[in-house]
A and B are shown apart, each in its own frame.
Chain A
Amino acid sequence: MNENYQSRDVFNAIADPTRRQLIHLLAEADELPLHELTAQFPMGRTAVSKHLTILKEADLVHDRKVGRETRFRLNASPLREVQDWVAFYNKYWNANMLRLSQLLEEEDE
């Protein structure tokens, strides 16, 4: 069975460096089995598997069975939530600073 749904907060899921590394690895590949992912970390497959479960719960990773192995694939769309957070404050300050720049120019004249 392949259940893909978001039961975990995306910020929580990416708070951990190992999980961010997993996302990077999956971003560069189409699909990877557990043993190939595990080979990239100084920890066992159980530990890597736990991290993948957390990413799955945040809907950042989808998995499917192919024969005996499970393959993992990145689902990047929940990362929008993180981006929006930054984008809001980016916009806020850019708009303000534009006004500040105009204010400083006016005073010069």
Chain B
Amino acid sequence: MSLTLSMDFPFRTSIEKLWLAITDSNQLAKWITENDFKPVVGHRFQFRHEPSEWWDGIVEGEVLIVDEPNLLSYTWATGEERHTVTLTLQDLGGGKVNLHLEQIGFSNVHGLEGAKHGWSEWVGELEKVLAE
């Protein structure tokens, strides 16, 4: 299967600080988890979350695109899920920066190519129809 998660997070900060927060290993450790991330194309890294009963907590990735300070993209794999995470930074002016996150998921279990976009929107829309 495939599915796109699309989210926007506005922060009161500078684009340089936000870029550092999403690319520097020490900073990432403070808001995601322990990791060996480097903003270098081709670098392979792990995000090591606390394991739980149903998840080993390990996310493995490879850096795909580094365009400082505007865009960062990496693969993001855990269990049987293979995803791509793309972070886009946009200076909104007035001390605000928007962080746009897209996570496109592919699961080996389902392995489907169809309907790559807007699945979450579609499901949300349908839920609304059903709730009426």
Contact = CB atoms under 8 A, between A and B. Distances in A.
B92 interface: no
Contact of A15 (B1, B22, B105): B1
Contacts of B7: 90, 93-94
A89 B12 contact: no
Give the interface size class of chain B.
20 to 34
A11 B1 contact: yes
Contacts of B32: 96
A85 B3 contact: yes
Give the interface size class of chain A.
20 to 34
Contact of B126 (A79, A85, A105): A79
Interface of B: 1, 3, 5, 7, 9, 11-13, 17-18, 21-22, 27, 30-32, 99, 101, 103, 105, 107, 110, 112, 114-115, 119-120, 122-123, 126-127, 129-130
Interface of A: 9, 11-12, 14-17, 20, 23-24, 27-28, 76, 79, 82-83, 85-86, 89-90, 93-94, 96-97, 99-105, 107-108
16 contacts: A11-B1, A11-B107, A15-B1, A85-B3, A85-B105, A86-B120, A86-B123, A89-B105, A99-B31, A100-B31, A101-B9, A101-B11, A104-B13, A104-B17, A107-B13, A108-B12
